[in-house]
C-alpha cells in the first residue's frame, strides 16, 4: 500500500548543528564569507595551536636520545602535521561544503511521508549525538595525556617537546606551560574531530535521502488513483532527485578524497608507534591508559568514515532493483524507455575513493590495521 504524502518540513542541514558549534573553537564557521574577527580566530588557530605545536616537536628532534623518544616524537609529529594539513584543505573547501546545504534543501522540499520524515529526524539526531561523542572522546585523549603529565611532579609535559626556556625552573612556570600545551591540544583535538566527521556525517544523511528515494521509486505505478502521466512525472522527479544526490556525492568525493588518504597513512603509522610504546616502553599505568585511549581514537578516526562510506555504497547498489520493483510494465512506452535508461545510469556502484585510489570501505579499514601490525613488527625488529 502506498503511503500518503504529508507536507512535513525537515531541515537536513540541522545534522551539522553540533559540528558547527564545536568547530567555532578552531575557526570553522557556517558562513560563506568570514568577518574580521573570524579571520583573526583562524589566524590564531593556524599560528599558535598548529604552527607552534609543530615547531615544538620539530625542534626537539636533535635532542632525541633513544628509540622510545623517537617513537613518541615521530607519531606525534605525524599526527599534528596530518591534522594541520586536513584543516587547511577543508578550510579551503569550506565554501563548497556550505553549498551542499542548498542541495539538501531541494531534497527537503520533496513531499515526505510521516515515516520518512521521522527517519530523517532520527538520522539528524544520530549525527549530532555522534559529533558530541567523538568530540568528548578526542578531548579525553588530550585530558588523559595532561593528567599523566600532572602526576610527574613537574618533570614532564604532555609530550617531550622543545621549549625556549626551562619549564622545570619553578612550579608556576611548569603549570602555565602545561596548561598552555593542554589548551593547544584541546583546539587541535576539536579540529581533528571536525576534519574526521565531515565526510561520515554527510554520508549518513546522503544515505538516508537515497533510501527515501529508493522507497519512492519502488512505489511508482502502484497507486491505482494515479494516471500514467502522473506516474511518469513521479519517475522524472525521482531522476532529478537522484541527480542532486549524485551531485552531493561528487562534491564530497572531491572534498574528502585527499584528507582521508592522508589519514589512512597517518593511522597505520601512528597506531603502530603507539602500540610499540605500550608494549615495550610504557612505565606506569596512567601512561598505558593514555596511550590506549589515543590508539583507540586513531582507529575510530578511519573506522567511522569507512563504515558510513561503505554503507552509502551498499545502498547505491539497490537502485536498479528499486527501479525494477516499480510497476513498469503497465505504464506508457515513454515511461518504460526512461526507466530502462535510468537503470543503465545506476548500474555502477558509487564507491568513495581516498586519494582517488583506495576505496573507503571496511575491507580497506581491515587492510590498514594489517599494515599497522606489519609496521609494529618491523619497528620491534629495529628496536
Radius of gyration, alpha carbons of the chain = 25
Query: How far is 238 from 216, CA to CA, in rounded Å?
Result: 8
Separation CA 19–CA 132 (nearest Å): 8
Tens digits of residue pLDDT in 286-342: 667 777 777 888 888 889 999 999 999 999 988 988 998 998 888 899 999 999 999
220 CB contacts (<8 Å, ≥6 apart)? 231, 234, 235, 238, 326, 327
Predicted pLDDT at 2? 45
Which residues in 29-59 are b (16+ Cβ under 10 Å) and which e?
bbeeeeeeeeeebbeebbeebbeebbebbee
Beta bridge partners of 205: none
d(CA 352, CA 364): 12
Contact (Cβ atoms closer than 8 angstroms) between residue 7 and residue 111 = yes
Listed residue (14, 12, 20, 10) closest to 197, CA to CA: 20
Catalogue the long-range contacts made by 333-336 (C-beta closer than 8 Å, 24 or more residues apart).
334/232, 335/221, 335/228, 335/231, 335/232, 335/235
Question: Which residues of the chain are modeled with pLDDT < 50?
Answer: 1-5
Q: Which of 124, 91, 100 is nearest to 23 (CA)?
A: 91
Amino acid at each position: 500500500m502506498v503511503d500518503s504524502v504529508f507536507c512535513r518540513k525537515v531541515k537536513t542541514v540541522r545534522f551539522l548543528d553540533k559540528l558547527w558549534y564545536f568547530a567555532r573553537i578552531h575557526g570553522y564557521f557556517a558562513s560563506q564569507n568570514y568577518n574580521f574577527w573570524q579571520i583573526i580566530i583562524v589566524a590564531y588557530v593556524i599560528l599558535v595551536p598548529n604552527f607552534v605545536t609543530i615547531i615544538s616537536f620539530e625542534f626537539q628532534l636533535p635532542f632525541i636520545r633513544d628509540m622510545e623518544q623517537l617513537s613518541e616524537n615521530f607519531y606525534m609529529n605525524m599526527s599534528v602535521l596530518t591534522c594541520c594539513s586536513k584543516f587547511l584543505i577543508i578550510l579551503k573547501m569550506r565554501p563548497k561544503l556550505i553549498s551542499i546545504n542548498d542541495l539538501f534543501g531541494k531534497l527537503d522540499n520533496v513531499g515526505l511521508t510521516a515515516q520518512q520524515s521521522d527517519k530523517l529526524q532520527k538520522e539528524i539526531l544520530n549525527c549530532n549525538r555522534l559529533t558530541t561523542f567523538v568530540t568528548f572522546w578526542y578531548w579525553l585523549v588530550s585530558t588523559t595525556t595532561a593528567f599523566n603529565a600532572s602526576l610527574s611532579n613537574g618533570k614532564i609535559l604532555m609530550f617531550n617537546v622543545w621549549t625556549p626556556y626551562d619549564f622545570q625552573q619553578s612550579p608556576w612556570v611548569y603549570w602555565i606551560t602545561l596548561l598552555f600545551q593542554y589548551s593547544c591540544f584541546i583546539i587541535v583535538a576539536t579540529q581533528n574531530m571536525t576534519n574526521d566527521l565531515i565526510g561520515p556525517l554527510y554520508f549518513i544523511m546522503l544515505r538516508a535521502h537515497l533510501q527515501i528515494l529508493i522507497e519512492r521509486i519502488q512505489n511508482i505505478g502502484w497507486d491505482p488513483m494515479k494516471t500514467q502521466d502522473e506516474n511518469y512525472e513521479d519517475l522524472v522527479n525521482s531522476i532529478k532527485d537522484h541527480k542532486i544526490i549524485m551531485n552531493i556525492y561528487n562534491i564530497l568525493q572531491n572534498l574528502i578524497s585527499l584528507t582521508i588518504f592522508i589519514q589512512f597513512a597517518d593511522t597505520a603509522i601512528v597506531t603502530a608507534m603507539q602500540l610499540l610504546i605500550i608494549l615495550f616502553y610504557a612505565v606506569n599505568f596512567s601512561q598505558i591508559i593514555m596511550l590506549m585511549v589515543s590508539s583507540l581514537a586513531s582507529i575510530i578516526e578511519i573506522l567511522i568514515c569507512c563504515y558510513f562510506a561503505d554503507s552509502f555504497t551498499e545502498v547505491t547498489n539497490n537502485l536498479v532493483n528499486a527501479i525494477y520493483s516499480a510497476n513498469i510494465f503497465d505504464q506508457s512506452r515513454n515511461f518504460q524507455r526512461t526507466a530502462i535508461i535510468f537503470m543503465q545510469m545506476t548500474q555502477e556502484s558509487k564507491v568513495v575513493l581516498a586519494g582517488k585510489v583506495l576505496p573507503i570501505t571496511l575491507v580497506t579499514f581491515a587492510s590498514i590495521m594489517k599494515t599497522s601490525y606489519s609496521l609494529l613488527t618491523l619497528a620491534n625488529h629495529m628496536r
